[in-house]
Structure 1
């Protein structure tokens, strides 16, 4: 019993009691709650410093990005303006080259100068002729469909194909047309009618239906000859079998523009020393494009 009484009376070791009393007498100890508050305050100050530094860095980076963006936009605007100026210069030079080529054709074509200028599309043309309008069948939606027609068969898509326009144009040429344009696009002896999907291209320029074909020539004879030709009968078969729509009318006067670009082939005599021994020079064939 004396041992239990001693433990209950002296629950704290005497050494701990003496150390606690000594710290209290010297004043070096801080209450636990005060130490906890000081630690919390230090942590909050450190967190505030980190957030402040991070915000400053973010603002600095944002200003740098905004400056770079503005510089990039300004460069794009400057380069776009320069590109537009160059495009205008190119168009002006193309126009100048075209005018000089047309003048050269008319000046040096000799007796056949007018014919050469006509076939090359170098000059505007006006006179009597015919107007042929060709359009897809009713209810045909844009896009889709099969490829161009092969051989002499027909497609049930009801769309006008490049092969159809080729036959129509060739039929007009053979019927006596002197100049032809499709949707305002002048055809020359070197023009090409091709397909790109369902689109029809004339000299790489896309056309949109309906296709208006203007042909200068003797309107009465030209229309009659075309309708009686194999290509005219082909167009009639397209109307009957596929539903493609077309109308042909005689025009007292129509006007066709000059071709937008020319492909000129010339023969130039060789200079001195290029003769063939009899005093006559031989010719070199040169090709120039505008």
Structure 2
């Protein structure tokens, strides 16, 4: 019973609705437009005393034209909408293609950035390693310069002054081997750097006699001879006396009557030894003029 009554109630409701609600919009606009035109014409005739026109309804040309214009406008709008949809779709596809292209380019740039960062890290690591090697080389060079005497140095030590006695005979004067004995004894006692009259002692230098003159590093020095030695001033003189070379030196001082004095100094400054070009040695593994490996060539 419920199923049969529901449609009847819907039909009754539709019959009770006014015409302007159930009539299609385009039909309603046309009908109302024509009704208003007929009403306007009827009012004019009534005012003029004329009989009203027959009640048959005829469509007004202006209404038909309006309907036609509306239809044409709707068709144009629909066509333009279709075309714009195609354009929008093409634009959207182009934008998507550009986005994908930019993403590929971005991935390529990110890959390059990662490679450059890795290369930069490797270079930084290598630079740190090279810098450490350089620092080690510089430290070794400084140590070598100190050891060989080719670097000026300063530090605490002992300053000794040696001179001939006033009435000394020629045979009893201080000679090169006497000064060499003192220098060797000081090195044996722990001296780190020694100079005679500001001439630095090193492996390429030496103390030599030329007639009565003494030469250090090939340069003449005169008495009194000032021997400056950098080392521990608390122990250097005592150790010199304990060495066999030092005992031999003091035997000469007492036997030949050398004038000898020594003092501890808080800061002694010694110059670097003069550089000398190597003429009689060649680098190992070199083979100049058919020389054998490691062989020294004579000038």
Bigger helix share: 2
Per chain length, whose mean CA-contact separation is higher, i.e. which structure has more relative contact order (CA < 8 Å, sep 6+)? 1
Q: TM-score of the superposition, structure 1-length normalised?
A: 0.48
Q: Which has the larger radius of gyration?
A: 2
Q: TM-score of the superposition, structure 2-length normalised?
A: 0.47
